[in-house]
Structure 1
Amino acid sequence: MLLYEVKNIIKIYYEKENELLIHEWLEYNPEDHDDIILTILQKIYDIFLIYPVEKVIVKADMTIGVFSPSIQEYIKDVQFPRLIADTNLRFVATIKSKDHMKAIGALLWQDQFNDQGEVILHDVGSEEEARNWLSTISKKLT
């Protein structure tokens, strides 16, 4: 079910049967409009309060642009701490482009250190991989 959309920037879906949110990012920095991104980030926080899921898929494989430095700082210093403190978020599978996945192959050894964090992040190359990982990891750790 589509919960929220900002045209050409983001779509947020909820799957009740899988207790899963899906964030499909299309653009990270629309014409340098940090105000739009801040509004979206607040909406994401609000949605996590309304739909208290542990799992989220972030589709970033087709996303253009990058968050501005101030948005990156906001996410690190405000958004993530609030999500960790106030929601049930525990597992994030991020779908990245095939080129990006090839580039991070050498970093896969780091996965062994992620299982003990408050929120476990994992990069994947497809939605199928994301769903499989979320299913497996949440069963393994709960």
Structure 2
Amino acid sequence: MNVQIFGATSFPCVCAYALRQAARDAGDAADLIHSQIVDHFYVDNWFASFRSVEEAVGIADTLNTVLTRAGFPLAQWRSTHEQVFSVIRNRTTEPADMDLDAVPIERTLGLSWNSVTDDFLAHFEIPPEGKTKRQLLRAIA
């Protein structure tokens, strides 16, 4: 397969395949990359936490190098630690025209994430007429 349409119904399956194939092709870093892909990816979003800035930057660099080589570069980097974010941002090709003074609320997979406070938020509206338990369960199922 040479081209994949993002947003298609098949995308999560194809994304998982591409990530796992990149892990198989990772060479010396295969174990590290495989554990990151299996344990810390949700579709094409990587969520991971680390004990130190050095560990975070090292693993992010390795993961980004392997995935970029496989044709799957990571983008939209964010971190709760400014030093990690600065180092990673300088090593990637992501546009640098972000307003770093604004509170960065990232929207991903139906949630909003505030990277300063490290809070996840869910936004929804309740109609003024209210809902029954049955309607609520149907909506969240």
TM-score (norm 2): 0.32
Which structure dedicates a bigger proportion of its chain to strand?
1
Answer 1 or 2: higher relative contact order, Cα 8 Å, separation at least 6: 1
More helix by share: 1
TM-score (norm 1): 0.32
